Amino acid sequence: MDETLLKWQQKLQPDLMDNLIRRYHLLRYIRVSEPVGRRALAQEMDISERVLRREVELFKNEQLLLIETQGMRLTEDGKNLLEALESSIQVLTGRTSLQAKLERALHVKRVIVAPGNSDEQDWVKKEMSRACVDEMIQTLGEGDVVAVAGGTTLAALAAAVYPHARLSNVTFVPARGGLGEDVELQANTISADLAKQAEANYRLLHVPDQLSETAYDSLIEEPGIRELLQLIRHPRMVIHSVGDALSMATRRGSTEEHLKGLETKSAQSEAFGYYFDHHGKIVHKERTIGLQLSDLNEEQMVITVAGGASKAKAIASYMTHRPSDLLITDEAAAKAVLDTLEEDL
């Protein structure tokens, strides 16, 4: 649909467009959460069950929706409608403009902005994950290696992937060792879960993320570790998130002295064991086994998945140091990043 025509229709028929956007988002949520029950859908989308019943009846009559014992799921017509509407909805909601502004401001090749705020809505992480899975399918091929970091954002990615011919001979590897955090959030676990869901291959790195100098020097000389590190440090694709500096340091069990040191240095973000200030300058580096920042080059496609307004300063900080090939974020984070960058001018 022509962008100018869409904008005129929005001015002349705002109620019609509001209904279109609401119904689109309902279908999107069903798609990323299926099978899903009505009560869960009403709560997550913050609409009354009475209104939802009316919308569900419409979807069912138009053969966009199946209602089964386990919950609701989209028909093929429903999925096709979502794909056909996507670009138009992005224009109507302003996400197309938001993506272009972020690309210019962060010097990122490409930005995908999902609706909502993942700080408050769990389904938004599913939306970001779906966009990442689509990118994996379009980009990866026979024998490619994907290095995956840990954390709550990428744990959602493992639940979104599915078997596909282009992923069947891909190998997923952890970008780094364990952080000593919940096992389901570690890169090892997420890599294995991704591979199992995609019916692909995986390798695991059974070492802690942080080591003494002696232990580090000894481990990287082990033949098995050395061979695995070659895979980890030369992947076709890197998928990671960006964390708030102090939150990440706390997750690592850092001492009060270390936390105060990061505060003194105005650390804003963390990625790959490196801490950055708001200018993108490295202010601290952990000794870690796995992918190093220096390993990233033009041969890899680097995807950063990070959303929520609370991560805005961290995203701006890391991207100032090294723009990724693709940033997948959400509306709340995108707007907050632009505000943060304006404040720094």
At 254 the pLDDT is 84
| Nearest-angstrom CA–CA distance, 205 and 208 | 9
Is the per-residue pLDDT at 255 higher than 80? yes
Q: What percent of the chain has pLDDT over 90?
A: 61
* Residue-level pLDDT at 280: 95
Other CB atoms within 10 A of residue 157 CB: 27
Instruction: Over range 185-206, report the average pLDDT.
Output: 93
pLDDT confidence tier of residue 4, bands split at 50, 70 and 90 = low
The pLDDT of residue 18 is: 83
pLDDT in tens, 293-317: 989 988 899 999 999 999 999 999 9
CA distances from 318 to 114, 198, 261, 283 (A): 20, 30, 19, 12
Answer whether 284's CB lies under 8 Å from 265's CB. yes
Report whether pLDDT(2) > 80.
no
Contact between residue 156 and residue 148 where contact means Cβ atoms under 8 Å apart: no
Amino acid making up residue 292: Q
For position 332, what pLDDT does the model report?
96
Q: Exposure pattern of 181-219 as b/e (b: 16+ CB <10 Å)?
A: beeebbbbbbbbbbbebbebebbbbebbbbbeeeebeeb
Per-residue confidence (pLDDT) for residue 220, from 0 to 100: 72
**Residue 83 or 183, more confident:** 83
Rounded average pLDDT over 259-270: 95
Please state, in angstroms and rounded to a whole number, the distance separating the CA atoms of residues 95 and 114: 8
DSSP string, 271-301: ETTEEEETTS-EEEE--BSB--GGG--TTSE
344-151-96 Cα angle (round to 5)? 50
pLDDT > 80? residue 211: no
What's the CA gap between 335 and 333, in Å, rounded?
A: 6
Query: 3 vs 232, which has greater pLDDT?
Result: 232
Please tell me the predicted confidence (pLDDT) of residue 6: 62
Range with lowest mean pLDDT among 36-40, 108-112, 140-144: 36-40
Strand segments (E) across 167-324: 171-174, 201-202, 237-240, 243-244, 267-271, 274-277, 282-285, 301-305
CA 209 to chain centre: 22
What is d(CA 158, CA 126) in angstroms, rounded to the nearest whole number? 10
pLDDT at 318: 96
Q: Is the pLDDT of residue 206 over 90?
A: no
Query: Of 309, 314, 299, 313, which Cα lies nearest the Cα of 333?
Result: 309
Q: pTM (2 decimals)?
A: 0.87
Inform me whether the pLDDT recorded for 271 exceeds 90: yes
pLDDT band for position 207 (cuts 50, 70, 90): confident
Contact between residue 120 and residue 52 where contact means Cβ atoms under 8 Å apart: no
* 302: β partners: 238
